[in-house]
């Protein structure tokens, strides 16, 4: 048919900053297709959007004498242990490991970040989750 390059992909646009992203290279954040930079921004905002929520989560855990994975749900523990075992893991790999819906995983990641158990970072062209 045509001589297009192998794996020719259509170009999407990031729903946040509108920059062009190759299809399949976007990151899904609550149903929004984002470029990598925006995804990192959304997962790890430079400024904490709700400091009291984070402080509250940490304080509550301290009051309850909880540290590490104490007080977490089974799913949250599973996610945390998977990240701990791997050292670092991409969101897609984590999704394959824990087998939940992406939005569910996103919610749990948000909780774990609030409890300062995990964080996201960028290395090369990938976003990894790792222990805090
Ligand atoms: Zn973007």
- Over residues 87-120, the pLDDT tens digits come to 999 999 999 999 998 888 988 888 888 878 899 9
Would you say residue 64 has pLDDT above 90?
A: no
Number of domains in the chain: 2
Cα distances (angstroms) measured from residue 2 to each of 8, 12, 51, 131: 11, 21, 54, 47
Q: Note the pTM of the prediction, 2 decimals.
A: 0.56
> CA–CA separation, 17 vs 117, rounded Å?
29
**Could you tell me the two tokens for 100?**
């939940």
pLDDT, residue 45, reads 65
Would you say residue 128 has pLDDT above 90?
A: yes
Contacts of 28 (CB under 8 A, 6+ apart): 34, 102
Looking at the structure, do residues 120 and 67 belong to the same domain, yes or no?
yes
| 75: containing domain | 51-131
Looking at the structure, do residues 99 and 126 belong to the same domain, yes or no?
yes
| Higher-pLDDT residue of 63, 42 | 42
Would you say residue 37 has pLDDT above 90?
A: no
Cα 101 to averaged position of ligand 1 atoms, centre (Å): 23
Residues with CB under 5 A from ligand 1 (ion): 14, 16-17, 35, 38
> CA–CA separation, 45 vs 40, rounded Å?
7
Cα 27 to averaged position of ligand 1 atoms, centre (Å): 10
Would you say residue 13 has pLDDT above 60?
A: yes
Looking at the structure, do residues 34 and 98 belong to the same domain, yes or no?
no
Contacts of 6 (CB under 8 A, 6+ apart): none
CATH code, domain with 126? 1.10.10.10
Cα 16 to averaged position of ligand 1 atoms, centre (Å): 5
CA 127, 128, 131, 132: dihedral to nearest 10 degrees?
-10
Looking at the structure, do residues 83 and 101 belong to the same domain, yes or no?
yes
- Burial bucket for residue 93 (CB in 10 Å: 0-12, 13-18, 19+): middle
Looking at the structure, do residues 62 and 39 belong to the same domain, yes or no?
no
pLDDT, residue 8, reads 60
Would you say residue 30 has pLDDT above 90?
A: no
Q: Mean pLDDT score of the chain, rounded to an integer? A: 81
């Amino acid at each position: 048919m045509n001589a297009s390059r192998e794996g020719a992909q259509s170009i999407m646009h990031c729903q946040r900053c509108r920059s062009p992203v190759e299809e399949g290279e976007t990151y899904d954040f609550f149903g929004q297709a984002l470029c990598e930079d925006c995804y990192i921004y959304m997962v790890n905002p430079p400024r904490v959007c709700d400091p009291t929520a984070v402080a509250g989560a940490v304080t509550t855990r301290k009051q309850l004498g909880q540290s590490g994975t104490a007080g977490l749900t089974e799913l949250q523990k599973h996610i945390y242990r998977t990240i701990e075992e791997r050292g670092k893991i991409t969101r897609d790999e984590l999704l394959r490991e824990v087998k939940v819906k992406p939005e569910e995983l996103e919610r749990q990641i948000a909780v774990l970040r609030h409890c300062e158990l995990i964080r996201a970072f960028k290395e090369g062209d990938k976003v990894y989750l790792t222990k805090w």
